[in-house]
Amino acid sequence: MRYLYALIGLVLIMASTHASASRFTAEIDVDTYVDAANANQSFSEDNLLWVASEKGNPVKEAYISFINTFGASGIFNPANVDSATLKLNASRIDAPGHVRVYLIHEAVMDATWNDRPTFNASNSVDLSVDKKGEYLLDVTPLIKEAVETCTEGCPYSMAIVAEDNASIGFASKESKEGKPVLEYIASE
């Protein structure tokens, strides 16, 4: 009987540990892409977020800006972020290849190629895109960096940059299906 009480106690402790983790979905504020061939134009209303590179250099970059609710969600320490996933839907592929995702410590609104934001290239996640469909990226290190940099109020964005002469159109928040989604799980 003593073992039964011990087992029940262990189950209750484990259940309370799992109950302290919460799942959050970050709301997209703005998404857009920039194009070197149209250096003064912004593409924030398009259904696709284009990323492309030629001869190893990016010629189109996409940006997704999120509303920061870390503080309102009780997340004040990067260690509280258990995991974070960015879902992207590759809707059109002119040339398959690799893309990298970087964190930007600001909102990216109607950027153009000429005034596109800079990002820290030392922290990124990569993805190989070879066919149309949904892709899930583990962006946990980027979200931990976002929490460390700005817990309260300031917006953050993610830059999507193509490599390997890739040319890929991801569904934007304006598309009917497959919109980008950022979810993270955090514990107290």
pLDDT average, residue stretch 7-15 = 42
Weakest-pLDDT range from 48-52, 100-104, 107-111: 107-111
- Name which of 108, 88, 85, 106 is nearest 34 in CA terms: 108
Domain architecture of the chain: domains with CATH: 21-187 (2.60.120)
Whether residue 26 contacts residue 69, with contact meaning beta carbons closer than 8 Å, is answered with: yes
pLDDT average, residue stretch 3-21 = 46
Q: Is the pTM of this model over 0.95?
A: no
CA angle 111, 114, 118 (to 5 degrees): 70
pLDDT average, residue stretch 99-106 = 95
**Dmax of the chain from CA atoms?**
75
- Between 17 and 126, the more confident residue is 126
pLDDT average, residue stretch 85-111 = 95
In the numeric block, the tokens 């839907």 are attached to: 89
Q: Determine the pLDDT at residue 151.
A: 67
Q: Determine the pLDDT at residue 8.
A: 42
